[in-house]
Amino acid sequence: MRKIIHIDMDAFFAAVEQRDNPELRGRPVVVGGDPGGRGVVATCSYEAREFGIHSAMSAARAYRLCPQAIFVRPRFEVYCAVSRQLRQIFLDCTELIEPLSLDEAYLDVTENKLNNSSATRIAQIIRQRIFNETGLTASAGVSYNKFLAKVASDVNKPNGLTLVRPEQAAEFIAALPVRRFHGVGRVTEQKMKRLGILTGADLLEHSFEDLHRQFGSSGQYYYQIARGIDERPVVPNRIRKSIGKESTLVEDLADPAQMLTILGRQAEQIALLLKQGETAAHCLTLKVRYADFQTLTRGRTLAAPFCQATVILGIAEELLAKTDAGQQSVRLLGLSVSQFDQEIPVIDPLQLELPFP
C-alpha cells in the first residue's frame, strides 16, 4: 500500500500579502484585479471568505459583498519564489513530487529520504518546515492514494492535517458530497443529482455498466473512487496537453480588425512557448465569449504541425470567420494549441499556467 501526501497552502496569494504587510493581517484581503473594472478575484483571505467572497468571482461583486475589504494586485514573482522554497522542502523528503499549481503538490513518500515510515509524521515535518521557512501555513492530506489525500487536505483547512486510514476510507467516501470528488464539475454534479447521486454512498448503488453508460470513461473513475480505488501514480513530470492564452477585453469589441490584433499578440506568445518547448502543434482552438457571456469554441486540426505566429494567426482568422464575432461584440478572446509533436513536460510548478496572469 502506498503513502501519499497532498500539500495545499492556505489562501496562498492572500497569505503571502498578509505576511509581507502587517496592516493586512486579520483583515479581509482580496487578491486580484481592479474592483472598479472587470477584474477577477484570484483568491482572498479567510476573513474575506466570511463575506462570501471566493476565487473567480468578479472583483466588483467582491467589493459589493465587503466594501471594507482591502484589494491588492497579485505579485507573481513573490509567489513563484515561495513555490520554489516549497519544492526544495519537498525534495528533501522525496523525488516523487507532482505539482498541481504553485501552491499544491502530491508527494509519494512510500519510500522517502527521511527513512520515516509514518507519512503523517512526514506531513507534519513538512508543514512545520514550511511555516519556519516561509512564515506561511499549509494543510495536508495523508492517505493511500491521490484522490483520498487531496480530499483529505481540504477537511481541516486552514493549517490542518487529515489522515484517512484504509479502514476509514469507505465511511469517509460514503459521506462525501459528489462535488468534492476531484473531476466532478458543476454540469456532472447536476446530472448526478438528477440520477439521485448526491454522495459517495449513492454512487455505490450504481453498477459499473450504469455509470459507464451515463458518464462514459469518467464513469469508470467514479465507480472506482467510490470504492476507494485510485491507482494513478504520482507523476513527477507532468505532460502538458495544451498551451493557451486568453484575454478578457477592457471594453467589448465589435471591430474584427481589433480582434485580430489581440489574437495576433496571443499567437506570438504561443509561438514563443512552442519554441521554448521545441515542439509544434497540430490543433488550434479559438475561444470567443460574446458580450452576453455566451461562449463558444471553434477548432481546426491540421495534418502538418505548425509553430509560427503568422500561421497560428492565419488559422485563427479562419476560425473567427466561423463565429458571429463582428455582428456580436466580444468580451473575451482566447487561443490554444494542442496535439504536440513532442511532449512538453511540466517539470516545475513555475511553468504551470496561472489562471489569472
Q: Is 105 in the site for ligand TTP (CB under 6 A)?
A: no
Of the CA atoms within 13 Å of residue 270, those in its CB half-sphere come to 32
254 is written with which cell numbers?
465589435
Residue type for position 168: Q
Candidate ranges 8-16, 57-65, 171-179, 206-214; the one touching ligand TTP (CB under 6 A): 8-16
Residue span 95-114 as binding mask against Mg ion, x where in contact by CB under 5 A, dash where not: --------x-----------
Cβ neighbours for 345, distance < 8 A, ≥ 6 positions apart: 237, 238, 239, 240
157 interacts with, out of Mg ion, ligand TTP, none, CB within 5 to 8 A per kind: ligand TTP
Residue with smaller CB distance to Mg ion, 138 or 332: 138
- Shortest distance (Å) from residue 10 CB to Mg ion: 6
- Shortest distance (Å) from residue 157 CB to Mg ion: 8
Residue with smaller CB distance to Mg ion, 103 or 230: 103
Number of residues that bind ligand TTP (CB under 6 A): 18
Q: Which of 50, 104, 189, 317 is catalytic?
A: 104
Residue with smaller CB distance to Mg ion, 154 or 317: 154
Residue with smaller CB distance to ligand TTP, 11 or 97: 11
**104 a catalytic residue:** yes
56 interacts with, out of Mg ion, ligand TTP, none, CB within 5 to 8 A per kind: ligand TTP
- Shortest distance (Å) from residue 236 CB to ligand TTP: 20
Residue with smaller CB distance to Mg ion, 55 or 338: 55
Candidate ranges 4-12, 91-99, 193-201, 322-330; the one touching ligand TTP (CB under 6 A): 4-12
Applying CB under 6 A, among 26, 37, 50, 56 the residue interacting with ligand TTP is 56
Q: What is the 3-state secondary structure (H, E, C) of the chain?
A: CCCEEEEEECCHHHHHHHHHCHHHCCCCEEEECCCCCCCEEEEECHHHHCCCCCCCCEHHHHHHHCCCCEEECCCHHHHHHHHHHHHHHHHCCCCCEEEEECCEEEEECCCCCCCCCCHHHHHHHHHHHHHHHHCCCEEEEEECCHHHHHHHHHHCCCCCEEECCHHHHHHHHHCCEHHHCCCCCHHHHHHHHHCCCCEHHHHHCCCHHHHHHHHCHHHHHHHHHHCCCCCCCCCCCEEECEEEEEEEEEEEECCHHHHHHHHHHHHHHHHHHHHHCCCCEEEEEEEEEECCCCEEEEEEEEEEEECCHHHHHHHHHHHHHCCCECCECEEEEEEEEEEECCCEEECCHHHCCCCCC
Residue with smaller CB distance to ligand TTP, 18 or 43: 43
Strands 70-72 and 29-32: parallel
47 interacts with, out of ligand TTP, Mg ion, none, CB within 5 to 8 A per kind: none
Residue span 12-51 as binding mask against ligand TTP, x where in contact by CB under 6 A, dash where not: xx----------------------------xx--------
Candidate ranges 4-12, 115-123, 191-199, 347-355; the one touching Mg ion (CB under 5 A): 4-12
Applying CB under 5 A, among 4, 5, 7, 9 the residue interacting with Mg ion is 9
Please list every residue from 140 through 169 that binds ligand TTP, using CB under 6 A: 157-158
Q: Which residues pair with 71 in a beta bridge?
A: 30
Q: CB nearest Mg ion: which residue? A: 8
Q: Which residues pair with 332 in a beta bridge?
A: 248, 289
Active site residues: 104
Contact set with ligand TTP (CB under 6 A): 8-13, 42-43, 55-56, 101, 103-104, 157-158, 354-356
Contact set with Mg ion (CB under 5 A): 8-9, 12, 103
